[in-house]
Structure 1
Amino acid sequence: MSRAFILLLDSFGLGATPDAVQYGDVGANTFGHIAAWAAEQGTPMQLPNLERLGLAAAAQLASGEWAAGFHQRDGFEGAYGAARERSTGKDTQSGHWEIAGVPVTFDWGYFPRTVPSFPAELTDELQRQTGVAGWLGNCHASGTEIINLYGDEHVATGKVIIYTSADSVMQIAAHEEHFGLERLYAICEAAYQLVKPYNIGRVIARPFTGSNGNYKRTSNRHDYAVPPPSKTLLDHVKDEGGEVIALGKISDIFATMGVSRVVKGPDNMALFDALLKVEQEAGDKSLTFVNFVDFDMMFGHRRDIAGYSNALHEIDARLPEFMARLKPGDLVVITADHGCDPSWPGSDHTREHIPMIFFGPGIAPRALPIADTFSDIGATLAKHLGVSPLSHGTAQL
Structure 2
Amino acid sequence: MRRTDPFSPLSLMTAFFVGGVLLPVYPFLNQEDGFTQFWQFTFSDRFNAALQAVLGYSLVMLCFVIAYMAIVGSHIKSPSPSKMLRCLGFKSRHLPLSFYILGAIATSGLLLTIHLQGGFEEALVAASDRTRASAGMNFIVLLQNAYLSVGLAWALMLTNGKSRMSRASVMLFLFYVLVSISIIALQGAKATIFVYILALAMVWHYRVRLFSAWKLLIFGVFLFVLLMIYHVIKQEYLVLGHFAFTAYGDTVLSAFLKFLFLQFTGNMMQLQTMAVLMDAMPNQMQFEYGQTLLMMFLIWIPSAIYPAKPLTAPGVFTMAFWPAAWLNEGTTLPPGFFGEMYMNFGWFGLVAGGLVAGFLYGLSYRAVRSRPDCDLTLGRHALFVSLLLHYFRGEAASVTVLFLTIYLPFWLTIKLSATRLLVTRTVS
* TM-score (ref. length: structure 1): 0.29
More strand by percentage: 1
Greater percentage in helix: 2
Larger Rg: 2
TM (normalized to structure 2)?
Answer: 0.27
